[in-house]
Amino acid sequence: MPRRLTPCFATQKLTPSPTILPMAIRLDKAIIRGEITNETPGLVTGRIWLLGRPDPIELSLHGNCLRDLAGCRLHFENPVPRHDSAVGIVAPRQNGVVGDMTASRKTRIPTVSDDEILDYVEAKLPIPTRVANCLYLEWFSELNGRMVIESTEFKLEITTPEWSMTADEDSMQTKESQANFHAYLDAITGGPDGEDEEEDDDAEYADEDEEPDDDFSGSGADEEDEEGADSGEVGAGHLISGDLPGDSSLIEVNIGAESEEPLNEFEWEQELREADRRAEAYQEAFDRYRDHPQRERLIAEAMGWEPEEVEEFRDDWQDVTESMQPQDPDEMLENAGMFTEDEEGAHHPLSRRAMDFALRLQRDAKTRGLFESDMARDNPVLSVIVSIIALGGKLAAALDGTMHGYDPEPGFVIAMLKRAQIPLNEALHALSSIQLSGLPKDTRSWLIAARTELFDLRNDILDLMSDLRK
């Protein structure tokens, strides 16, 4: 779908910046209260108080709310604010452009408890839901990227509008918000920021009298999505993701594509970085449109894909996103144990060695009483173990294919092994944070030996990279 920016957004382009985060920052959990006003056409301002910050953040955004909030002042209050680490990275002044801002977005919420949800998931049954009105405030910050407030629980007060928005203006605002979102995705992927095409966007809608189905506030959002609310899509390419706990790599590359010469490690690193950005952009698009009855079409348009590309890779994406969900440390250790129990030859010696190392550290740490009660997430020994499990997953993604007859390009393997250095360095950092003073002598010797073994593993990885370069 052609990208056509409105004059409002054209003066407020988002450009790739180290300060723009690749995923939306969701503030709803930490909100105490807030207010926004769109009483001046073309301008949304407001203040939001967050738990853990003495002063409110201030909003000054170009654009308008959707029809139900246009011209109004909205007050909202969170009945149960909770601490959120994301609060610390939010800029005090939020300048930028609006996305969708509405108090009547349709969303599906579970009608069962959290414990019952787990039972449904384990039984692979659909989770019972109902449709509810949702407060949805989205904007694109010059400093923080995409910001989202989304809740069905907030207490809302909305004043009488100072000016009224027509149905046509609401439709145009929806398109402007969508253009802002497309430009934000382009900032992530490095794609074109608003190509000026002449094709008429309105041709997408069969009935000119109907609201465009990009509008979440319409009744069309009550319809069931035929593909199910938890399905996913992805663009052309081959997905590689270690299906191991702690491995959050998602790589979309054309491994089978023909080329005159193989790529070197630096070219593969660039390919992988671009694939990461596409994956991050897809996750944003899925997050924004997940409850929309036309989700697949809207995601395809946002990503610049053809509809058939979405359908072709839906199952692959669903498998990958499931493997990327945060896991409990106990579950990660259990899955790592299953990894090491696989038949001989199923895994490369380095990936198996890392997993064996992690499990051995876990057993030894328990024996030495280094886990106080439950394995708290801030326990440095647990951080070491989890990082080594992640290392094993990344080594498996890089090397295990060679154990099954695949012959990847050396540059690709080297680039993947470079990525494995990240959790390895995190493990070393966690080890160095452990205070040795006060520990028994044999425990200090055990930790020093673990550090030595981790360095040995790193040296063997570097040796393998050196051999591949030859």
Q: What is the pLDDT of residues 129-156, one digit of tens each?
A: 888 889 999 999 999 989 999 999 999 9
Whether 133 is in a domain gets the answer yes
- Whether the Cβ atoms of residue 62 and residue 9 lie closer than 8 Å to each other: yes
What is the per-residue pLDDT for 102? 95
What is the per-residue pLDDT for 4? 29
- With a cut of 70, list the residues of the chain below it in pLDDT: 1-22, 191-260, 307-345, 371-378
Whether 84 is in a domain gets the answer yes
What is the per-residue pLDDT for 119? 82
Q: Number of folded domains in the chain?
A: 3
Whether 149 is in a domain gets the answer yes
Distance CA 115, CA 331 (A): 17
Whether 114 is in a domain gets the answer yes
**182 and 63, same structural domain?**
yes
**Residue 425's CB: how many other CB atoms inside 10 A?**
14
Distance CA 289, CA 276 (A): 20
**146 and 164, same structural domain?**
yes
DSSP one-letter string for 120-188: HHHTT-PPPEEEEEEEEEEEEETTTEEEEEEESS-EEEEPPPSS---HHHHHHHHHHHHHHHHHHHHHH
Look up residue 89 and give its two tokens.
């990275």
**156 and 138, same structural domain?**
yes
Whether 230 is in a domain gets the answer no
Q: Which amino acid is at 172?
A: M
- Whether the Cβ atoms of residue 321 and residue 232 lie closer than 8 Å to each other: yes
Q: Which amino acid is at 343?
A: E
Whether 51 is in a domain gets the answer yes
**303 and 349, same structural domain?**
no
3-state secondary structure of 111: coil
- Whether the Cβ atoms of residue 266 and residue 177 lie closer than 8 Å to each other: no
- Whether the Cβ atoms of residue 45 and residue 59 lie closer than 8 Å to each other: yes
What is the per-residue pLDDT for 259? 53
- Whether the Cβ atoms of residue 305 and residue 286 lie closer than 8 Å to each other: no
pTM over 0.75: no
Please name which of 381, 288, 384, 282 lies closest in space to residue 324, comparing C-alpha atoms. 282
**362 and 264, same structural domain?**
no
Quick one: which H or E segment has residue 238? strand 238-240
What is the per-residue pLDDT for 334? 60
Can you give the residue range of the structural domain that contains 83?
7-194+207-222
Place of tokens 């490369």: 348
**313 and 171, same structural domain?**
no
**251 and 135, same structural domain?**
no
- The C-alpha R_g of the chain, in whole angstroms, comes to 25
**305 and 180, same structural domain?**
no
Backbone angles phi, psi at 362, to 5 degrees: -65, -45
Q: Indicate the pairing of strand 155-158 with strand 25-26.
A: unpaired
**269 and 181, same structural domain?**
no
- Whether the Cβ atoms of residue 150 and residue 106 lie closer than 8 Å to each other: no
What is the per-residue pLDDT for 452? 92
